[in-house]
Structure 1
Amino acid sequence: MSDTTTRALSLLNLLQTHRHWPGTELAARLGVTERTVRRDVERLRDLGYRIESTPGIAGGYRLEAGSAVPPLLLTDEEAVAMAIGLRVAASQRLVSGPETTLTALAKLEQVLPAPLRRRVNALADAVQPAGIQTGAAVSSEVLGELALAIRDHERVRFDYTSMTGAETRRRVEPHALAPADRHWYLLCWDLERDDWRTFRVDRLARVEHTRVLFDPRPLTPAEVEDFILVARSWTRQPVEADAVIELPIDVMKEHFGIWGQGATEEDATRTRWPVGGADFRETMYGLSWIPAGVDYTTDLAEPSRSELREVLERMLRAVDASPPPARTPVVERAPHPAQHTVTP
């Protein structure tokens, strides 16, 4: 293989691993001049790869979907079959490493021509493996678009329908996709709320790429898991209530950390925080985490309110009453010699 061919393939690999590359950085990585990069780009274009170039200081190159699948990769039928398989695997979590599936899906989605993508969209949602327990239906097209945005650190917009049915248009910096409890969750930095937010992917629609890149905010894998854990706990609970806490929202969030998600400012000195559980006991446990000495009110409804009051009154009586007599210690006696068994 000639040096020219090797360099062109190296350039193609770089273009496939990131959405946008400045010409200066490509030249530095390949150890050539920017003029050589331009020639190699033209060679790839001659082979059928559609590479968009933008002039100027911030200009560069990006690999776009063309009118046909680039040669030497896959036939149309193979591309459709692979894309459908990856989308189904991602949405059904058939592999142990979802990141690998999403990375492969993002790379293939990037170069799928529009006609083939329409075929994939039509077929993937109709293919459901037998015997797989699934949660709410997830659009495989949305998964593919989010996977691209996460890989490329690109801001996106989308429509979101909350658990209560409220519809909003969000603008975010996507960080991670994660499966949990038969659902997919998107963890991202919400630019309007200026905070981390987690969204159920099945409630997302109309994903729009902005072509605005961002530098990812630092977040450890453990922190990602914590955010997803909080999001899982936000599903509608049999017993739900709001607690209005006598703390400003910034102080409240500093104390609660990621568990303060969902809190809203009631006024300058008070914060409204949603809390709930399978029964009044779990709701009581949530309320117990409000900092000591901080007053609050709650709208816990009947009959849970009366059940909670009865349990608390009994607890207070038990705490105020005299403690029960101490338990008489049990003295262990040595066994009688005759009880020993001698093994010859």
Structure 2
Amino acid sequence: MLETSARLLRLLTTLQGRRHWAGAELAERLEVTPRTLRRDVDRLRSLGYAVQAFSGPGGGYQLGTGSELPPLLLSDDEAVAVSVALRSATDTFTGVSDAAMSALVKLSQLLPKRLKRRVTALQAMTVSVGGAPVVPADLLVTLASACRDHELARFEYTARGGAPQVRRVEPIRLAHAGARRWYLVAWDLDREALRTFRVDKLSALSVGPRFTPRPLPEDLERHIAESVAGGVHTYRARFRLSGSFEALASRIPSWLGALERESEDTSILTVNAETANGIASLIVLWGFGFELLGTVDGAGTEEVAQALEAAATRLQAGARTLASAR
């Protein structure tokens, strides 16, 4: 009995890993016979999991939406609460957004329609206060699923100051850059190059059919970090920080800027923002000792320096206010 239960858990976890599994491939992955696989699928169905079977060429198994929420030890109210919390976590908490999105994709796949309607209604009536654009959670879930399941994506994309353009891409990853900024990293089929798209600039999304993923470049993670950190900004300032690359890399999030090794004891951080005050706010926020080297292209260096001086003046004035009150 224990062996059967463990096998069912493995089957359920594997089915949640991607949208569709060929029968032979799934049996091989689980190291069981096709007959045992069919019996285990029937057991999952008896527990409330809507496992769909497809025959013929390209057939296999797929975990679908059930008429009832499968036994996750959650009531309907708890499932709605968890879904809403996960949607909030995707753009609120640094360090857990990727895990929250992964969990949200799995939960959204299993929620019955009646609960999905409740989640959508609650989300629509919730006001988020902040300057950054809010990306609909359903859009993020669709893109995350397309990345996971290797499905083509077609959408209209509006770059800064331009008209919407239709883009056809092979989705690769979703990247989060703080302040509710989400980016889609994808292979642009028309431009035949790796591109990064701001999700809040994306509309009229449709996905499918599936594609065969191409080999990923070895420096994909660096490309993502640099693209997300760079984006399209008016100011790109370089700072020298005291500390080795290894010591600072674990403390500086990728969305803050691109970190480079300069020597054993110093590193160079390139910070990007739309205003000089934005540059000052970001570098001051993280509390590093720094030396301003200038902007990347030389333009706006004086404005960044003035913004830093103004920030220093405000900080000193605030500290003196407390000291005088004692």
Match of 2:80 in 1: 80
**Aligned residue runs from structure 1 range 308-319, under 5 A:** none
* Equivalent position of 2:40 in the other structure: 40
Partner of 2:195: 197
CA deviations on 1:31-84 (whole Å, 9 max, x unpaired) are: 211122122112212222112222234321111112221124422211111111
Q: Provide closer, same or farther for how the CA distance between residues 278 and 5 of structure 1 changes in structure 2, counting only shifts above 3 A.
A: closer
Give the 3 Å change call, closer, same or farther, for CA 157–66 of structure 1 in structure 2. farther
Residue type at the aligned position of 1:102: M
How far the C-alpha of 1:169 sits from its partner, in A, is: 3.1
Is contact 2:143-2:171 (8 Å) kept? yes
TM-score (norm: length of structure 1) = 0.63
Correspondence for 2:65: 65
Unaligned runs of 5+ in 1: 239-276, 287-303, 305-344
Contact 2:149 2:210 in 1 (8 A): no
2:246 corresponds to: none
Paired residues of 2:91 and 2:97 also in contact (CA < 8 A)? no
Asked if 2 retains the 8 angstrom alpha-carbon contact of 1:20 and 1:60, the reply is: yes
How many percent identity over aligned positions? 42
Aligned to 2:153: 156
Which residue number corresponds to residue 141 of structure 2? 144
Preserved contact between residue 98 and residue 178 of structure 1 (Cα < 8 Å): no
In terms of mean alpha carbon deviation, does 38-47 or 154-163 score higher? 154-163
C-alpha spacing 1:71/1:96, structure 2 compared with 1 (3 Å): same
Matched, 1:103 2:95: no
**Runs (4+) of structure 1 moved beyond 6 Å?**
none
Determine the structure 2 residue equivalent to 1:119: 118
In structure 2, the CA distance between the partners of 1:108 and 1:181, relative to structure 1 (3 Å rule), is closer
- Any idea what SS the aligned residue of 1:56 has? coil
d(CA) in 2 for partners of 1:223, 1:283: 18
Following superposition of structure 1 onto structure 2, how do residues 1-344 of structure 1 map, counting pairs within 5 Å?
1-92=1-92, 94-127=93-126, 133-180=130-177, 182=179, 183-215=181-213, 217-219=215-217, 220-230=220-230, 232=231, 234-235=232-233, 237=234, 285=298
Q: 1:42 to 1:22 in 2, by over 3 A?
A: same
Distance in 1 between residues matched to 2:116 and 2:156, nearest whole Å: 21
Any idea what the Cα deviations from partners look like across 1:146-174, whole Å, max 9, x if unmatched?
22222233222333233225223332222
| 1:65 and 1:110 in contact (8 A); partners too | yes
- Kept in 2, the 8 Å contact 1:91–1:140? The answer is no
Distance 2:214 2:74 in 1: 32
Tell me which residue corresponds to 1:260.
Answer: none
Structure 2 unaligned regions, length at least 5: 236-273, 277-293, 301-326
Q: Say if 1:7 and 1:278 are closer, same or farther in 2 by CA, change over 3 A.
A: closer
Aligned to 1:271: none
1:293 equivalent in structure 2? none
Q: Distance in 1 between matches of 2:70 and 2:3?
A: 21
Letter in 2 for 1:186: L
Distance in structure 1 (CA, Å) of the matches to 2:68 and 2:205: 24
Displacement, 1:196? 1.4
Separation (CA, whole Å) in 2 of partners of 1:179 and 1:111: 24
Contact 1:76 1:116 in 2 (8 A): yes
Deviation per CA, 1:74-98, whole angstroms, max 9, x where unpaired?
A: 2221111111111111022x14132
TM-score, scaled relative to structure 2:
0.66
Larger radius of gyration: 1
TM-aligned CA distance change 1:198 to 1:155, over 3 Å:
same
Look up the equivalent residue of 2:223 and give its one-letter code: E
